[in-house]
Amino acid sequence: MSGPLALVGGNEWNEGCTFDRELLEASGGQEVLVLPTAAAYEHPERSVQTATRWFATMGADVRGLMVLRRPDAEDPANVAAVREARFVYLGGGSPLHLRSVLKDSPMWQALLHAWDEGAVLAASSAGAMVLCDPMVDPRGGAFTLGLGLVNGLTVIPHANNWSPEKAKRTNQLAPADCAVVAIDEETALIRQPWGDGTPPAWRAAGAGKVTAWLEGEEVPLDRLPV
């Protein structure tokens, strides 16, 4: 059974991200594997340092896996690290770079394997966008292909900083069968498996709010595809 999935609206590893403690507990371990891939051109080591400080407050260790280019996503040691991890966290940055590194790579297959085996998967901002299909193209707000871990759902991260006009345009451009989810910073949309045969369900957690639309109408989270 796949593990919990957290789609985070950005500004990850900060005090509003109260859900990280429960995700850590759900992983059953004390290590978080952080991939700063999306921040490859924005001092990725700083992302790892921020995550390290944050999870240290919970008594957990962070291992930064510097998968910054396509060859890194094909390196057997990196692939094995992801495959064996119990908690993988994709940080924010450029969704287009993250997609180009992971798409159809051994690393992506390892990530799917770990999650399918019950590992916790969290992804913030660019990471949350890329895991969905379709995803919002940051170059103009239209839609493009994501990696499709979640289909029929697209994420607007940093929603508390988006203008109503920009959100309206994204809704207008969304395919008819695609849910649009706006997630505030330091906030997560979490897909929680129950383990008792009950279908997974989405819920919001953290400092801000999560708003979902389908065909331009606001809908409750239980209308989202799982």
Q: State residue 164's pLDDT score.
A: 80
CA–CA dist 142, 7 (Å, integer): 20
The CATH number of whichever domain residue 182 belongs to comes to 3.40.50.880
Q: State residue 218's pLDDT score.
A: 93
Q: State residue 54's pLDDT score.
A: 98
What pTM value is reported for the model? Answer: 0.96
Q: State residue 188's pLDDT score.
A: 98
CA 86-88-93 angle, to 5 degrees, is: 175
- The domain of 214 spans 5-223
Q: State residue 195's pLDDT score.
A: 66
Find the helix or strand (DSSP H, E) in which 26 lies.
helix 19-27
Q: State residue 196's pLDDT score.
A: 65
pLDDT in tens, 128-161: 999 999 998 887 778 999 999 999 999 999 999 9
CB proximity list for 210: less than 8 A, separation 6 or greater: 9, 181, 182, 183, 184, 187, 189, 204, 221
The two three-digit tokens of residue 68, written as one number: 């910054």
How distant is the alpha carbon of residue 140 from its chain centre?
A: 21
Q: Are residues 164 and 173 in contact, defined by beta-carbon separation less than 8 angstroms?
A: no
pLDDT < 50 regions, the chain: none
What is the count of structural domains for the chain?
Answer: 1
